[in-house]
Structure 1
Amino acid sequence: MAGFADPPQHQLLGLFQAGQYREVLQRAQALNLRLEQDPIAAQIVAGALFQLGEFAKAARLLEPHQAALGADGSYLSLYGATCRRLGQLNSAKDLLSRALALDPQAPQIRNNYANLLIDLGELAEARRLLEGLLAEDPSYADARANLNRLQFREQQSAPALAPNASTTAAAPATALASAQSWMPQDPLMLAFAEDEVRQAGAVAFSKPAPNSAAALARQLPDPDKAAVAADQLKLAAQAIQENNPAFALQLVSQAGLALGAQAAVYVNAADAYIRLQRFHEAEICLLHALQLGGPALPHYINLITLASMRGDCALARHYIDAAAAIDPKHPQLAQVREQVQRQEAGQGSRYSFVAQWALPNLTPAPPVSAP
């Protein structure tokens, strides 16, 4: 993102480099930038959305600018990482491999690409990349963790794929460079309000509209499991927007069979469970999404709400601190903090663990148009 001549782009880049990601979004809006016509500004705003965990929004900004930025390694890397967070593994591979071809010595791209290859089961190439990184920088902790994960995968798959093959570790490769992986946070939506939980609703199976998720799902081609799974996750998000969370769970379940344990799978499941008022299941899925995808502000705000619903205000305060570490100016953060403080003031007793959680049966907030 270098060589900007336009002052608005300089403003956005300065805010981005200072870690003021929400201010990037606010400044872009205040400047009334036409991001569909400004690839560089769109990339900066998409980077801010990525850091805030708004991966679907980031992808929508990045996608139209492939012609203009298709030879820019930073664009390809950001777009590839975004696709990976959305469970679109084949698209992520295409974008990251192009980024790597442009800058084959970039440690971040190599480590991130190797991580993706492990997800895709392409272990030999992932090993080559990771061993090259560690040969140049043995202290690169993320590459070491990825190599450990790869070696465990190899041990599991070796007997089935090559019964006569040796199970000893491969000799260290002499390959590429040193390292650090670009893997920011992972959020998506807030609970119980339509402007934050964009994926909503009640079950409605009968007579799907021609462009509904249910109708489109019947038209999916069957070329490749990962590509189909990515489409299923997109349709699951659409199904929740169409007030059809039960169908969304079917789609998420099918996608999970192909993708395995991916944050995008559990995020969509959590959104569907929230709209079904299955809050216990939603909380579990959000925790899994955090473990798989890393810190995520919208997940934290959902968890604040879910913990406070159970009366566990101490846990809610922990998630408030975690959310503030990502985006202290998030518009919902002060609101949920005040709610937890009021709840603590009136609670009168500390939270206690009981044999079975009593989960409140709450009605989601009425729809509110997004700002």
Structure 2
Amino acid sequence: MSIADLHQLYEQGYYKKIVNIADKDDEFDPETQRLIAAANFQLGNYSDCLNLLAEIEGSFLNEGSFYSLYGAALRRVGLLKESLDKFKSAMELSEEDRYIKNNYANVLVDLGQHTEAIEILKGIVNQYPEYLDAKINLERAEDRLIKSKDEKDITEAKTQVSSKTDFDPLMAAFSDEEVDLASKSPLGNTAQNPVIKHIPDTNKDKKILEKLELLKQTLAEKNYTFGLSLCSELKVLGLPADLTYKYASDCYVGLQKYVEAEIYLLHSALLNPNNINSIINLVSVCSIKGDLERATYFFDKIKNKPELDHTQKVHLEKILAQRTKELKNKPFKFDS
């Protein structure tokens, strides 16, 4: 198959077909290998992508787009400093490429270099006001900058806490309501220390927060297969199981694997019955599956709970009403 044919397959989104063709033959020119690497990237096969890019780097030393792909793949596997280096190379070769600048700034945000990232992103948005992704990343950078300043204030406040206070970072528990990566106070009596919030004090906590941030970004980009691999890593790192299962279910919903999504939501709800978010999602998933009896059952369990705000309640009622109308005279059937 010619390189033109492979390009056409790529443009049409047949990434798996490209990879399958590559599996049948080991001899490819560098341009074809780059295309195969890009297809692997789209499928979430980042290790395969990186292996191919490492082999052919010498053939693309003067192409910014090559280093942009390289940097993006490195970011996906959490090698942020290496990713930044590749994006720097890409920018040196393609100084005016807004997409490369945007991706470079994104890694800067990941590394906590918010001020530089904001400066770059503002320049992109001012020049290309229609570039939505740059706007989203600018908001993310500005939000992270504010949070980093807040954390600095909190850290200073922590030094003023009485030495008699028993501080145990293991008491920290991530809550589903705080998906912005904040978490509960690790102090036993938060009422006496309202300014104190959880700041990760161990490398393990920091790794969890970093992986969670990457998982959120991955879900926003609809890369659900990679999201599941991050859920596996978070489970090993020690993220509370109910939250891990909730994120895993989000990935399975994106992959349209609703049975798996329902199973992990049930696990999440059983492990943390006080958190109604998993039950809310169960209503939606069961509605999608066409199991309105179970969807109604879960809705009835939470409809009068004060934690369910009016907007959420109305939204769930609309989902149930719509699905009831769509599935009229179509009883639920189990998959064989």
TM-score range (shorter-chain normalised) is 0.5 to 0.7
Task: Give the RMSD, CA atoms, in angstroms.
Answer: 4.0
1:72, distance to aligned residue in structure 2 (A): 2.1
Q: Is structure 2 residue 14 aligned with structure 1 residue 9? A: no
Match of residue 129 from structure 2: 138
CA contact (8 A) 1:269 1:282 kept: no
Q: In structure 1, which of residues 16, 20, 28 is the aligned counterpart of residue 14 of structure 2?
A: 20
After superposition, residues 352-371 of structure 1 pair within 5 angstroms as 352-353=297-298
Q: Which has the higher helix share?
A: 2
Per-residue deviation at 1:95?
0.8
Distance 1:39 1:298 in 2: 37
Counterpart residue type for residue 132 of structure 2: A
Partner of 1:306: 261
Is this contact kept in 2: 1:252–1:268, CA < 8 A? no
Overall identity of the aligned pairs, in %: 24
Picking from 67, 86, 89, the partner of 2:58 is 67
Instruction: Extract unaligned runs of 5+ from structure 2.
Output: 154-201, 219-225, 267-281, 303-336
Find the counterpart in structure 2 of residue 284 from structure 1: 246
Over 3 Å counting, the alpha-carbon distance change for 1:255 and 1:310 in structure 2 is closer
Matches of 1:87 and 1:113, distance apart in 2: 14
Q: Aligned partner of 2:214: which letter?
A: Q
Which ranges of structure 1 fall in alignment gaps of 5 or more residues?
A: 1-6, 163-249, 291-296, 319-339, 357-371
Please give the alpha-carbon distance, in whole angstroms, between the structure 1 residues aligned to 2:147 and 2:204.
26
1:306 aligned counterpart, secondary structure: helix
Counterpart amino acid of 1:256? I
TM-score, normalization by structure 1:
0.50
Could you tell me which residue of structure 1 aligns to residue 232 of structure 2?
271
Q: The residue matched to 1:105 in structure 2 has which SS?
A: coil
- CA shift, 1:17, in A, is 1.3
Number of aligned residue pairs: give it: 225
Counterpart AA for 1:117: L
Instruction: State the Cα deviation string for residues 279-320 of structure 1 (Å, max 9, x = none).
Output: 8554323357x5xxxxxx8962666423267796972785xx
1:71 positional shift: 2.7
1:310-361 Cα offsets, whole Å, 9 max, x none, are 796972785xxxxxxxxxxxxxxxxxxxxx7xxx7xx8943432869xxxxx
Match in the other structure for 1:176? none
User: Are residues 254 and 314 of structure 1, via their aligned partners in 2, closer, same or farther at CA, if it must alter by over 3 Å?
Assistant: closer
Q: 1:302 to 1:72 in 2, by over 3 A?
A: farther
Q: Is the aligned partner of 1:262 residue 2:214?
A: yes
Q: Secondary structure at the match of 1:261?
A: helix
Q: Which residue of 2 aligns with 1:334?
A: none
Aligned 1:1-371 pairs, distance under 5 A: 8-29=2-23, 32-34=24-26, 38-158=29-149, 255-256=207-208, 261-263=213-215, 267-268=228-229, 270-271=231-232, 273=235, 280-286=242-248, 300=255, 304-307=259-262, 315=285, 349-351=293-295, 352-353=297-298
**Residues 156/55 of structure 1: CA separation in 2 closer, same or farther (3 Å cut):** same
Decide whether aligned partners of structure 1 residues 131 and 256 sit closer, same or farther in structure 2, where only a CA change above 3 A counts. same
The answer on whether the counterparts of 1:46 and 1:58 sit within 8 Å (CA) in structure 2 is yes
